[in-house]
Amino acid sequence: DIQMTQSPSSLSATVGDRVTITCRASQGISNYLSWFQQKPGRAPKLLIYSASTLQTGVPPRFSASGSGTDFTLTISRVQPEDFATYYCQQTYNSPLTFGPGTKVDIK
Amino acid sequence: QVQLQESGPGLVKPSQTLSLTCTVSGGSISSGDFYWTWIRQPAGKRPEWVGRVTISGLTDYNPSLKSRVTISIDTSRNQFSLKMNSVTAADTAVYYCARVARSNTYYYFDYWGQGTLATVSS
């Protein structure tokens, strides 16, 4: 199985901060990488697919990059509604696997 | 707008079978080049992919669950289903169904149901 790791596991930010989350795959996954945002009691919401493509309707303050094994998600100016847990997911090989998540909370 | 809705018993006894159904609305389950998938998430943990089914009924399962899981599709009812047998407390989780958008160059879960909590307890 491809193992996904994320760092940091949690971070505190102030509204307006730039936030960066990293995700690493245990082997190369090309660009088969998605990013999800999850709020308590809600289903994960797709933000980014194919490593860097913004899903329709997602604000442009979200961006992402990477290929192979190393990926990043950036929120350019974090807003109050962005405080949530973020997961990366590889869809390169079965079984599809998720990272452990990064919780972004208010400083 | 595609919508997915999970349904099924919220409480299952140990060793019995968990059965869930996902009803798709806002579009035909047979149209387009999509797969249909189940994911589960125990409280406080990361999501875990369970498996997926194509519109022709071909399946792929997480090897960690493969011996206990069956996913099927009923295109006439616009539904797909999950059966998991011999459940234990470790199978207690929120179960989500989702649509998979896929091609030669991309593969991602774009629409999700709201999730349903399945608790395994006597």
d(CA A96, CA A93): 6
**CA-to-CA separations, A10 to A57, A68, A71, B47, B70, in angstroms, rounded:** 26, 24, 17, 17, 36
d(CA B6, CA B19): 10
What single-letter DSSP state applies at residue B20?
Answer: E
Residue B71 predicted with pLDDT over 90: yes
Res. B63 pLDDT band, cuts 50 70 90: very high
Contact residues of B toward A, CB < 8 A: 46-49, 60, 62-64, 96, 101, 105-110, 112-115
CA contacts within 13 A on the Cβ side of B40:
21
Hey, what are A67's tokens? 């290929």
Candidate from A50, A87, A97 with C-beta closest to B106: A50
CB pairs under 8 A between A and B: 51
Distance from CA of B41 to the nearest CA of A (A): 10
Which residues sit opposite B30 in a β-bridge? none
Query: What is the torsional sign of CA B93, A95, A34, B103?
Result: negative
Hey, what are B45's tokens? 């943990």
Rg of chain B taking only CA atoms, in angstroms? 14
Query: Of how many residues is chain A composed?
Result: 107
What whole-number percentage of chain B has pLDDT above 90?
A: 95
Cross-chain residue pair A97–B115, CB shorter than 8 Å: no
d(CA B2, CA A1): 31
pLDDT of residue A22: 98
pLDDT values of chain A reduced to their tens digit, one per residue, 107 residues: 999 999 999 999 999 999 999 999 999 999 999 999 999 999 999 999 999 999 999 999 999 999 999 999 999 999 999 999 999 999 999 999 999 999 999 88
Cross-chain residue pair A101–B46, CB shorter than 8 Å: yes
d(CA A77, CA A68): 27
Cross-chain residue pair A32–B113, CB shorter than 8 Å: no
Which residues sit opposite B106 in a β-bridge? none
Locate the chain B residue with the closest alpha carbon to A96. Answer: B49
Residue B74 predicted with pLDDT over 90: yes
pLDDT of residue B102: 94
pLDDT of residue A29: 98
Q: Which residues contact A17 (CB under 8 A, 6 or more apart)?
A: A77, A78
Distance from CA of B81 to the nearest CA of A (A): 18
Distance from CA of B84 to the nearest CA of A (A): 17
What mean pLDDT comes out for the span B93-107?
95
Q: What residues of chain A lie within 8 A of the CB of B114, using their CB?
A: 42-43
What mean pLDDT comes out for the span B85-113?
97
Task: State the amino acid at position A30 in one-letter form.
Answer: S
Q: Quickly tell me which residue has 């406080």 as its tokens.
A: B44
pLDDT of residue A36: 98
Cβ–Cβ < 8 Å for B101, B108: yes
Cross-chain residue pair B115–A101, CB shorter than 8 Å: no
pLDDT per residue as tens digits for the range B17-54: 999 999 999 999 998 889 999 999 999 999 999 999 99
pLDDT of residue A69: 98
Locate the chain B residue with the closest alpha carbon to A30. Answer: B105
Candidate from B62, B107, B113 with C-beta closest to A95: B62
Distance from CA of B12 to the nearest CA of A (A): 21
Task: State the amino acid at position A4 in one-letter form.
Answer: M
